Amino acid sequence: MITYQFISALSDAAPQSHLIAAASCTYLPETALVAEMRESASIADTRFGCAPFARITLLPDALWQDSLSEGLLTALRPLLASPASPELILDVTDIDDVVLAQVLRFLFNQAHRLSDLKLKQTDESAVRLTHITALCLPEQQAKLEGIFRQQQAIARGMVAARRLADIPSDRCTPQFVVEEAQRLCAAFPALRCEVLNEKAIAEQGLGLLHAVGKGATCPPRLLALHYDGVNDGPVRCYVGKGITFDTGGLWLKEGAGMYTMKYDMCGAANVMGLMLTIAELAMPVRIMGVLALAENAIGPDAMQPGTVATACNGTTVEINNTDAEGRLVLADAIAWASQRHPQARYIIDMATLTGAVVKALGYELSGLMTQDEPLRAALTLAGKQSGDEVWSLPLDARLKKQTDSAIADLCNTPTNNAAISASAAWLLHHFCPPTIPWAHLDISGTALWRENGRSVASGRPIPLLVEHLLGDI
């Protein structure tokens, strides 16, 4: 765990720390080295002649106020890839609140790296960040203590989600996810787990989840995480797509498209991480998180194009593309959640659902689709406040023809290959009663962090959802 403290004078910092500050910071020592570093128009960094520090990095003042392009994070990533010291001093005397939240989440997320999975021989003696010292004004400390505590809890949830998502799919099966969630939730008395195995899934009529998972040797699961921070009040529901590996089924993906498909369960992993954060912050709310877990595999029992399956709300769906499986498991989970809590305050689902949303919005924005305007406004605002932003895509009856089927109530993909992301959301909206506000987050672009041609789980949109929840209590 990465710890933190606050100081108002650099003399109180641990020796041999890495000092990162704005170029104009007035707390810096008045030395010839610092004076020369201040003259730089870009990043000024040194490990020489900077005693009592192990390293000094001065970053342009503008970066500390830039929440839009994440300029400060971009500068910090290479610095923290190989830390000079386990102790970091961060200048927070003059920093934008959103930038601070982004930076703190990044720093606390250093608690997890791929090497922690122990699947690769690594240098165990390598330096890791273990402590953050915040340089602040005395009058800032009370406010900062709340921000640090909140962002540390958010980061812990993100780390739990990232660790789970990064595990290779031959290990991270639906049952493995269940057992990992049970292990992590055991630390919080307010959290409890409810599990539906493949028999219960069939008995309760979750025909879409069953159809997706029945082709795999690892059977599907539905995992509900219940949090009771108060004894009564409306239940807020979160639903996550948990395809532990997606071959595309009989609609087989090409090899390049299949490589990162262990991450097709990031939605479910993020629901789990969100629940852990909520429990750590002891929020006074009632929450249910639903993880729809299945492997979309090829086998004698795999669903076939043209299959008609029935969801737990009685809606039939023609499966005309077995590689559009995520919306099927989500549809059943949304319907199941709405039946468990027909008076739910809202249902928000999240999924690495469509590559089309990446083409539309890139890697920085999650796609938001909803017909509930107050929920849209609240999520959009929470995105701006947290630095984990969303962008709305249309969702109305003009998409109806995209899910028309001649043989069933709905088909799972449009035959014209148009408006893929919004069409998927239009399918999903049929499974949430109109009396419950519902929103869909397509996180295909944001659920992963991509760097140097490699992808790892990011833990988004946990920051967005925590910020939204804090504003809704």
Tell me the catalytic residues: 253, 327
Residue owning tokens 């049970």: 182
Write the DSSP assignment of 394-430 as a string of letters: --SGGGGGGG--SSSSEESS-TT--SHHHHHHHHHHT
Residue owning tokens 């710890």: 3
Distance, in Å, from the CA atom of 330 to the CA atom of 319, rounded to the nearest integer, reads 14
Q: Are 367 and 361 in contact (CB under 8 A)?
A: yes
Distance, in Å, from the CA atom of 42 to the CA atom of 49, rounded to the nearest integer, reads 20
First to last CA, the chain: 28
Count other C-beta atoms under 10 Å from residue 454's C-beta. Answer: 10
Helix (H, G, I), strand (E, B) or coil at 208: helix
**Residue 296 token pair:** 């979309």
In sequence order, what E strands does 92-215 have? 131-135, 191-196
* Burial of 94 (C-beta count, 10 Å sphere; 0-12/13-18/19+): middle
Q: Are 233 and 344 in contact (CB under 8 A)?
A: no
CA distances from 363 to 109, 197, 367, 458, 459 (A): 19, 35, 10, 11, 13
Q: Which helix (H) or strand (E) holds 90?
A: strand 87-91
Q: Which helix (H) or strand (E) holds 202?
A: helix 198-203
* Burial of 372 (C-beta count, 10 Å sphere; 0-12/13-18/19+): middle
Write the DSSP assignment of 9-39 as a string of letters: SGGGSPTT-EEEEETT-TTS---HHHHHHHT
Q: Are 333 and 349 in contact (CB under 8 A)?
A: yes
Closest-CA residue to 311 (of 204, 434, 424, 435) = 204
Which sign does the torsion angle of CA 272, 273, 274, 278 carry? positive
Q: Which residues pair with 2 in a beta bridge?
A: none
Distance, in Å, from the CA atom of 76 to the CA atom of 91, rounded to the nearest integer, reads 13
Residue owning tokens 């028999």: 199
Q: Are 471 and 285 in contact (CB under 8 A)?
A: no
